Amino acid sequence: MIDYSMYDYVIVGCGITGSVIAERLAVNNKKVLIVDRRNHIAGNIYDYIDENGILVQKYGPHIFHTNSETVMEYLSKFTKFIDYKLQCKVSMLGKITPSPFNFQTIDDYYDLKKAKKLKQELKKEYPNTERVSIIELLKSDNETIKEYANFLFDNDYSLYTAKQWGVSPSEIDVNVLKRVPILLNYDCDYFGDKYQCMPELGFTKMIQNMLNSRNIDIKLGYDILNDLKLDENMVILNNNEYKGKIIYTGPIDELFQYQNGELDYRSLYFEIKRLDEDEYQDGAVVAYPAAKGFTRITEYKKLPYQDIDGKTTIAIEYPLKYMINSKSEPYYPISNPTNNKKYLEYQNNLCKFPNLIVCGRLGNYKYYNMDQAVQNALEVSKKNNIEF
């Protein structure tokens, strides 16, 4: 049985959110216990060296990118970063073209004369920008541009998005389509952020360095909900009221035993294959919009580049419905009026428990990139008078 009374803070979740807060607390001389029900640290950014000697990310391809000096400076205390610009590709109609689509895509699918005309018209129609959304192009009155937009929509956006979210093309939320822009140049910059890099020895090592403090104890493979219960207005741990603070970064609906209903998520299944080949595909991450069942394939020896002969490891990504009590993981929150209402109800319940802080991507039911998760964790630390 864990003796929680030894700690000033109990943190649930050893992902980047919980780890940043644990680190801040430890530096401020607080005694912290961090618990995760998985048997490893780092949450969804966990990576490991596989049998091929390749650094593999267990929960899908993760690339660090940010415009925040604060986040960059903070994380650089725990790892050296190496510059890395993700070059994504799309396999469409038997050819491989850049993602986001750019002028190379036009050259790949149009003859010389038509390509020249289309590029000129795009520059004329959108003179002050280098990035436009597919929605803007679909709405264009210019026939040449509209035809290009329909070509991209039919062969990529609609197929990929329908598979990713498990809906028919007619049900696709247009806001989702806006996420991957179309570039009006030959640039191949997927994220477009000031800092784009990878931790030299991987994300797990970075988190390990963060948690390396005599003020932090780590307990893995343990579900806190075995011990934690929410009574009328108090947090119970091992049948006693807990007076220290709890930082909970797990799913908020599960914490409240789904009393206001389940929050929906989209999940993914990664089929990992180790191959005796030098190279599998032209790019670290390639999308396959027309493929049956799967959306993307990641080739890990290119993420970042790893010099290993004769072997490669790939992850094939299958989107699926998330179901509680199954092996699926809650990955992408599904924002719609029903889920948003349920989430607000859970949020409102929290005010009854002043020593319980809920945060992170699962606690806030919000998709965070890693830099946003770090930013959020630093803000939570500050709000709780943890110096930064």
Ligand X SMILES: Cc1cc2nc3c(=O)[nH]c(=O)nc-3n(C[C@H](O)[C@H](O)[C@H](O)COP(=O)(O)OP(=O)(O)OC[C@H]3O[C@@H](n4cnc5c(N)ncnc54)[C@H](O)[C@@H]3O)c2cc1C
CB of 144 to ligand X, least distance (A): 34
Residue 43 contacts ligand X per CB under 6 A: yes
We find the least distance from the C-beta atom of residue 252 to ligand X, in angstroms, to be: 10
Q: Identify whether the C-beta of residue 78 lies closer than 8 Å to the C-beta of residue 72.
A: no
Give the integer Cα–Cα distance in Å for 381 and 208: 19
Q: Closest distance between ligand X and the C-beta of residue 59, in Å?
A: 6
With CB under 6 A as the contact rule, the residue among 91, 97, 99, 249 that binds ligand X is: 249
Task: Kindly tell me which of 15 and 244 has the beta carbon lying closer to ligand X.
Answer: 15
> Which residues between 321 and 350 bind ligand X (CB under 6 A)?
331
User: Of the ranges 14-22, 144-152, 319-327, 334-342, which one interacts with ligand X (CB under 6 A)?
Assistant: 14-22
The yes or no reply on residue 369 touching ligand X (CB under 6 A) is yes
Check residue 44 for interaction with ligand X (CB under 6 A).
yes
Q: Which span sits near ligand X by CB under 6 A: 111-119, 299-307, 368-376, 380-388?
A: 368-376
Q: Which of these segments, 7-15, 70-78, 163-171, 350-358, binds ligand X (CB under 6 A)?
A: 7-15
Strands of the sheet with 64-66, listed across from one edge: 64-66, 195-199, 81-83
Binding residues for ligand X restricted to 117-156, rule: CB under 6 A: none
Residue count, binding to ligand X (CB under 6 A): 34
Among 88, 210, 373, 378, binds ligand X (CB under 6 A): 373
Q: Contacts by 278-284 with C-beta closer than 8 Å and gap 24+?
A: 278/309, 278/310, 278/311, 278/312, 279/312, 280/312, 280/314, 281/89, 281/91, 281/96, 281/314, 282/89, 282/96, 283/87, 283/88, 283/89, 283/96, 284/61, 284/86, 284/87, 284/88
Alpha carbon distance 253, 343 (integer Å): 8
Q: Considering only residues 108, 193, 223, 262, which one is a binding residue for ligand X as defined by CB under 6 A? A: 223
Q: Are 313 and 300 in contact (CB under 8 A)?
A: yes
Q: What gap in Å lies between CA 161 and CA 95, rounded to an integer?
A: 20
Q: Which is nearer to ligand X, 156 or 371 (CB)?
A: 371
Dihedral over alpha carbons 322, 18, 270, 337 (to 10 degrees): 30
**Residue from 4, 11, 13, 26 in contact with ligand X (CB under 6 A):** 13
Comparison of 30 and 366: residue with beta carbon closer to ligand X: 366
Residues in CB range of 76: below 8 A, 6 or more apart: none
The reply on whether position 224 binds ligand X by CB under 6 A is yes
| 370 near ligand X (CB under 6 A) | yes
- For ligand X, the binding residue among 283, 361, 375, 381 (CB under 6 A) is 361
User: Can residue 88 be called a binding residue for ligand X (CB under 6 A)?
Assistant: no
Closest separation in Å from C-beta 346 to ligand X: 14
Closest CA to 269 of 330, 334, 332, 328: 328
- Percent of the chain that is helix, strand, coil (3-state, to 5): 35, 25, 45
